Amino acid sequence: MRITALVVDDEPIARLAIVRLLRDDPQIEVIGECGDGVSAVEAIRHGSPDLVFLDIQMPGITGLDVVATIGAARMPATVFVTAYEQFAVRAFDANAVDYLVKPFARERFADALRRVKTRLAAPQDTSADTAVRIMQALDALRQRDDYLARIPVREDDRVVFVDVDDIIWIRSNRNSVQIHVPGRVHELRETMTALQARLDPRRFARVHRSAIINIQRIKTIDPWFNGHHVVTMDNGQQLRMSRYQNDTFLRLVTTQRPGSQAPDTAG
């Protein structure tokens, strides 16, 4: 089976790495390389490749924009390439979409290519299912873009931007919130409910009416009294979790440790 392939990446070194690996496979014919989304759209429309390696993070027209322009149902078999976005990896995993995380090993590349060949060899009526999976993954990525990446907070006469990844937890303080990051606390004039709506629910969870936590910063979750749990953050902060939040929150994490100590704060 002969497979024609197009490589799309704005980084020349990344394109070269993929092209070299593809040329090691006698079944693959590389018919083009593109360094931007505009040329990628044209190459897909006019070259009709069987397979596209498509970078997500490109300036101007991104890989997501390329798919939106072509249409998921008309896209060739696609392996998405991402440099760092863990959320993208989770979205692709959840929808069984092929992807590579840069930098990738030769073995990981071979695995992705093997899966693509299997799908290309399958009956054509599976293409609709593939399009649905791609759209579901991309919808999740677009939704991610709607959430805050940085939060502007005022300090005296200047504005400081806080990366949401740096947030350990957030505490309600009447009509404002206290944003706890390593080594300091920022005050923001916004209600807890309003701020929660602007944070990615896959990354932040409200464990109490007065506390939101960064899931990636959890150290342990320990049972406490009367069905409550205590969440210990990576800075040592202990926060009591309301019972009515248990079911929703515990679905977001995979481990719990036994033992219990009363929390010092939160709630």
Report the alpha-carbon distance of residue 89 to residue 84 in Å, rounded.
Answer: 9
Whether the predicted pLDDT of 71 surpasses 80:
yes
Q: Tokens at residue 6, please? A: 């197009």
Diameter of the chain measured on Cα atoms: 66
pLDDT at 138: 74
Residue 91 contacts residue 145 (beta carbons within 8 Å): no
Report the alpha-carbon distance of residue 154 to residue 213 in Å, rounded.
Answer: 21
**Across 9-23, 151-165, 253-267, least confident range:** 253-267
Q: Which pLDDT band holds residue 257 (cuts at 50, 70, 90)?
A: very low
Q: CATH classification of 151-250, choosing from 2.40.160.10, 2.40.50.1020, 3.40.50.261, 1.20.1050.40?
A: 2.40.50.1020
More confident residue, 129 or 120: 120
The overall average pLDDT reported for the chain is 82
Count H helices and E strands in the chain, helices first: 8, 15
Whether the predicted pLDDT of 53 surpasses 90:
yes
Q: Tokens at residue 230, please? A: 């205590």
pLDDT at 252: 54
Residue 73 contacts residue 125 (beta carbons within 8 Å): no
Report the alpha-carbon distance of residue 210 to residue 20 in Å, rounded.
Answer: 54
Q: At residue 211, what is the residue type?
A: A
Instruction: Say whether 28 sits in a helix, a strand or coil.
Output: strand
Residue 225 contacts residue 259 (beta carbons within 8 Å): no
Positive or negative torsion for Cα 255, 261, 264, 267: positive
Whether the predicted pLDDT of 25 surpasses 50:
yes
For residue 48, give every residue at least 6 positions away whose Cβ sits within 8 Å of its Cβ, in sequence order, or none: 4, 76
Report the alpha-carbon distance of residue 230 to residue 253 in Å, rounded.
Answer: 14
More confident residue, 125 or 224: 224
Whether the predicted pLDDT of 183 surpasses 70:
yes
Residue 234 contacts residue 139 (beta carbons within 8 Å): no
Residues 79-102 have a mean pLDDT of: 74
The answer to whether domain 3-145 and domain 151-250 are alike in fold is: no
What are the b/e assignments for 118-128, b being 16+ CB within 10 Å? eebeeeeeebe
Residue 91 contacts residue 141 (beta carbons within 8 Å): yes
Q: Is the peptide bond before 12 cis (omega within 30 degrees of 0)?
A: no
Strands (DSSP E) contained in the chain are: 3-8, 28-34, 51-55, 77-82, 99-101, 150-155, 158-163, 169-173, 176-181, 184-188, 204-208, 211-214, 218-223, 229-233, 238-241
More confident residue, 190 or 262: 190
Residues 111-120 have a mean pLDDT of: 88
pLDDT at 87: 59
**Across 2-6, 48-52, 253-257, least confident range:** 253-257
Report the alpha-carbon distance of residue 225 to residue 218 in Å, rounded.
Answer: 20
Q: Tokens at residue 176, please? A: 């404002």
pLDDT at 244: 60
More confident residue, 255 or 252: 252
Query: pLDDT tens, 207-237?
Result: 888 999 998 899 988 887 776 788 899 999 9
Q: Which pLDDT band holds residue 189 (cuts at 50, 70, 90)?
A: confident
Q: Which pLDDT band holds residue 181 (cuts at 50, 70, 90)?
A: very high
CATH classification of 3-145 is 3.40.50.2300, yes or no?
Answer: yes
Pairing of strands 99-101, 176-181: unpaired
Domain ranges of the chain: 3-145, 151-250
pLDDT at 224: 79
Q: Which pLDDT band holds residue 64 (cuts at 50, 70, 90)?
A: confident
pLDDT at 86: 63
Residues 157-161 have a mean pLDDT of: 83
In the chain, the percentage of residues whose pLDDT exceeds 70 is: 80
Whether the predicted pLDDT of 264 surpasses 80:
no
Residues 110-122 have a mean pLDDT of: 87
